[in-house]
Amino acid sequence: MEKDFSLRELNTFGFDVKARYFQELKTLDDVQELIRNHEFISCRDAALSRLNGNTSHILILSGGSNILFPDEFYDGFVVYPNLKGIDILDENAETVMIRCYCGEVWKDFVDYTVSLNLYGLENLADIPGKVGAAPVQNIGAYGAEVKDTVYQVHTIDLATGETKIFSNEECNFSYRNSIFKNQWITHALSQRDTTGYPVGTRHALSMIFAVDFVLKKHGELKLDYGNIRNYLIANNITNPTLKDVAATVKAIRAEKLPEVGVVGSVGSFFQNAIVTMDKYLEIKELYPDVPSYPVEISPLPAVARDVINTEGNNKHKNVISSEVEKSHKSIKIPSGWLIDRAGWKGYRENHVGVWDKQALVLVHYGGGKPSEILDLMKKIQDSVYKKFGIEINPEVNIVASL
């Protein structure tokens, strides 16, 4: 365990945030040792004893490619799971099941599966981060989401050391969301389980240590999202292969996104907006060139709906947030287009700004503070809502202040 540990190299924004305690985990035995650590126990018990189930005293940090610390000091315990390994578990004439451990770099894992000519992850090439974080966010790009290939997720409880397997269905995947990201919504304010902790907090300290994927030996390529098909045509690729698609996605991302480690960012900072059909038609009448994609979203579990009904709905009725159950006639509008049309593309203010090649990306040029990104985020959100009547929400995970 280390104290006052700098997280500069563990968050792709590159902010020099320090953590009071930091522990890297390379094996499951390391986890068992961690849960006997006195400092960890103190932070864990402080987190789990809160009636509201807030576990902000402990942070499980993966690749740091989708996280923003609001302050320059995290007064808690950062757990850094870094278990490595890739195993082929099963294979038949149609599919291959692969287990990948949480510490493997996501883009390297995708390259590995593409090299084996396995279908399913090629559109997710070059997304930064680690494998363990992929199910949390249900990462997605170019018409694909990781939920489409996840078979099950292996977790370990940092309070008890017990392991648990979540099936794909139990992960409750939705747009940029899963039970691992959204499970705190199910907490009960007064009920406690047999251990004395509030109901709903028990899995809030679960750490993903491995993910099992099922990939296909034969499949259909997804070419109709973004510029994939146009790029292939421009490069005279008329009969694209799996490797062609992965290479195309990499090339498009390189043209649009800042290089990780050179300019600080988390890639797409905002989720794409999902609006009602009526709202979309209203926007289209004013802006005929608005890009859009139909989306079908599964309803939230009943317990989540109950919490929403008792605690309030989204303040903007035309916007369908990730917490509110959506109509099956919803439309996705790229938030990058909204931000661009609101005049923010290429904007810079001191140490931070909006990337000049992709308005969905907020950047840190160095020497800045997390608060500068937060201030810029709020300005953009207000501007987009004022112009379009659409609320855009951050895709990045913003760590709760202690």
- Select from 144, 89, 151, 94 the least CA-distant residue to 118: 94
Angle (deg, nearest 10), helices 106-115 and 242-256:
150
Q: Under DSSP, is residue 31 helix (H, G, I), strand (E, B) or coil? A: helix
Residue type, position 127, single letter:
I
Which amino acid is it at 235? N
What is the rounded CA–CA span in Å between residue 336 and residue 346?
Answer: 12
Give the residue among 281, 240, 304 at the shortest CA–CA distance from 389: 281
Q: Which residue type sits at 326?
A: K
CA angle 334, 336, 339 (to 5 degrees): 120
Annotated catalytic residues are 176, 268, 395
- Tell the burial category of 126 from Cβ atoms under 10 Å away from its Cβ (0-12, 13-18, 19+): buried
DSSP character at residue 105 = B
Best CA proximity match to 77, nearest among 53, 125, 45: 45
CA–CA distance, 367 with 197 (Å, rounded to integer): 41
Residues 6+ positions from 257 with CB-CB distance below 8 Å:
265, 267, 355, 357, 358, 361
Phi, psi (deg, nearest 5) at residue 148: -75, -15
Q: Which two tokens stand for residue 74?
A: 């995290």
Strand partners, 213: 98, 150
